[in-house]
Amino acid sequence: MDRDLSTTELFTTFVSKSRLLSTLLNTVKFNDKHQSEINSYPITTVAPGDIVYLNLREILPEKYESLPLPDLLSTDYMLRCSYGDFKSPNHKLILINYIGTNMRADTVNNWYVQFIGYQKALDAHGTLMTPALLRDCSLLASPKKRVV
């Protein structure tokens, strides 16, 4: 019996359902090459002014479990964001603004747009971060600007 969870059908099925988790099905070398390839192309799936909904689990993984939110582990809290100006002449970087927070805008690449910042509609399983929830989450602050 193979005891490696990553080779089981259950694991493969579960991980395949998430764009972000699907990278676990490949080697680090393959994922790095794929990420570099994606980042070599201009961003075309979003434009300045587009609104997207980001899952707080994905954009704040190091802070998520400490946020004072109800049902934290079973609820997907979604943050409304807007894309700003392109930050490179070849459209390979774009600014993303976190609406209603004190988080500084980030410059993101095409991989980020494709795997994290692509959801243009709030899905039925997500809970939108309301102004009241945002006030309760003073941890939604970035200490410095970053490129992701």
pLDDT 10s digits, 58-88 = 888 888 888 888 888 888 899 999 999 999 9
Nearest CA-CA partner of 69 in 81, 82, 78, 58: 78
Specify the pTM. Answer: 0.77
Tokens 């090459």, residue located: 33
